[in-house]
Amino acid sequence: MATHQQTVSASRPRQKAAAPVPRPDRRFYAQTQAFGRFGIRWFDPQIMPVEHFHGHIELNWLTAGGMDYVIDGRPLSIPAERVVMFWAGIPHQTVALDTGPHGDSRQCNVYLPLDSFLHMPNLGRLTETMMGGGVVMLQPGTLGADTLQRWYQDYRSGDAERADILKEEIALMLRRAALTGWDSLMDPWIESIGSSTRAASPLRYVVAMIRHILENLSAPLRAEDVAKVVGLHPNYALNLFTDVMRVPLHKFVVRMRLIRARSLLFEGSLSIENVAFESGFTALSQFYVQFRNAYGLTPRQMRAHYLR
């Protein structure tokens, strides 16, 4: 495992891939860094000068060697050819590298927007582990360089259907991992509300609020009710949520409802009115305004465009 710090060798010349063709729904993620955009990167591993955090569930994969992380102040070693997964909203930093016997290790990162990840079905304990601050390593052979390169080409293609298939493949991979298990590199440490711990961290409160929102997304969600779940004053709860998530609670709720609405639209069986209702929007006019602001298309236009 990584035992020495080193600077990255000069980058090897590579042909630069064409930039992805923008999709209407990319505006949704561009408006704030609280969640970030979906993305895939191949790059030379680097030591990070400072820790950072961003709104994704992050998947790391190395071709060779290994690297040492510090996540929330805790040391962690990551080997090659294994998928390592964590919530990147928790501060993290690469502090040491081993670029392999030939010094040519490459790294692939997959960035899943947090809101999209939270809507992936049937992940059960995997979702709980991520939101609890755990770091997991999926089973050997889960992914290889060939699959990751294909995913990368799908991502860079700018083709909406290829991108949607890519995301479905990632969701299925994680669903399989939820069934077959994983190796734990760092156990979850953000306890659920109601545990016997004396002090609750801000993350613990926020995770409890997120869980309540997801479980009641189609129902009215007043700030007072969400704050009551964690036993906090509404103003304090709202400020705490914004400080941790870097987006106000109201905008988070709208974002999650829009993600659900988009998913229901693609299923194609519900009327647009019922899609709005099932997603928690009480007024159809409000749903149309929010949806178009987020995705650049009306619900009817998106359904017609992607399901033709």
pLDDT above 70 covers a percentage of the chain that reads: 83
- Whether the CB-CB separation of 65 and 80 falls below 8 Å is answered with yes
Across the chain, mean pLDDT equals 83
pLDDT for residue 97: 95
287 in Cβ contact with 279 (< 8 Å): yes
**C-alpha to C-alpha distances, 86 to 29, 186, 244, 271, 291, nearest whole angstrom:** 20, 9, 17, 37, 29
pLDDT greater at residue 229 or residue 72: 229
User: How much is the pLDDT for 259?
Assistant: 83
Task: Name which residue leads in pLDDT, 23 or 226.
Answer: 226
Domains in the chain: boundaries: 26-186, 202-246, 251-303
Percent of the chain clearing pLDDT 90 (strictly above)? 43
Asked if residue 194 has pLDDT above 60, the reply is: no
Residue-wise pLDDT for 86-104, tens only, equals: 988 888 899 999 999 999 9
Mean pLDDT along residues 216-227? 89
Cα gap 251→159, rounded to integer Å: 29
Identify which has the larger pLDDT, 38 or 190.
38
Query: Which residues, 6 or more positions from 4, have their beta carbon under 8 angstroms from its beta carbon?
Result: 96, 98
Q: What is the pTM of this model?
A: 0.72
Give the C-alpha separation, 69 to 91, whole Å: 10
Max alpha carbon distance in the chain (Å)? 61
**Each residue's pLDDT tens digit, 279-289:** 999 999 999 99
Return the higher-pLDDT residue of 110 and 114.
110
> pLDDT-based confidence at 6, cuts 50/70/90?
very low
Residue 20 is predicted with a pLDDT of 46
- Decide whether 26-186 matches 251-303 in CATH topology: no
With a cut of 80, say whether residue 14 has pLDDT above it. Answer: no
Burial, 101: exposed, middle or buried (Cβ in 10 Å; 0-12, 13-18, 19+)?
exposed
pLDDT value of residue 23: 47
Looking at the domain 26-186, which fold is it? Answer: Jelly Rolls (2.60.120)
Question: Has residue 166 got a pLDDT over 90?
Answer: yes
Tell me, what's the pLDDT at 214? 83
- pLDDT category at 236 given cuts 50, 70, 90 is very high
What burial class does residue 248 get, using C-beta atoms within 10 Å of its C-beta: 0-12 exposed, 13-18 middle, 19+ buried? middle
CB 110 within 8 A of CB 16: no
pLDDT of residue 73: 82
CA 184, CA 9: separation in Å to the nearest integer? Answer: 31
| Minimum mean pLDDT range among 14-18, 161-165, 204-208 | 14-18
pLDDT at 85 over 90: yes
- What is the arithmetic mean of pLDDT over 3-13? 41
Sheet holding 107-113, edge to edge: 39-43, 107-113, 56-62, 84-87, 135-138, 182-186
* pLDDT tens per residue, range 55-84: 789 999 999 999 999 987 889 999 999 999
SS3 label, residue 94:
strand
| pLDDT above 50: residue 235 | yes
Give the model confidence (pLDDT) of 124-134 as tens digits. Answer: 889 889 888 89
Nearest Cα to 12, choosing from 58, 61, 63? 63
Q: For residue 52, report the phi and psi dihedrals to the nearest 5 degrees.
A: -145, 175
The CATH architecture one would assign to domain 251-303 is Orthogonal Bundle (1.10)
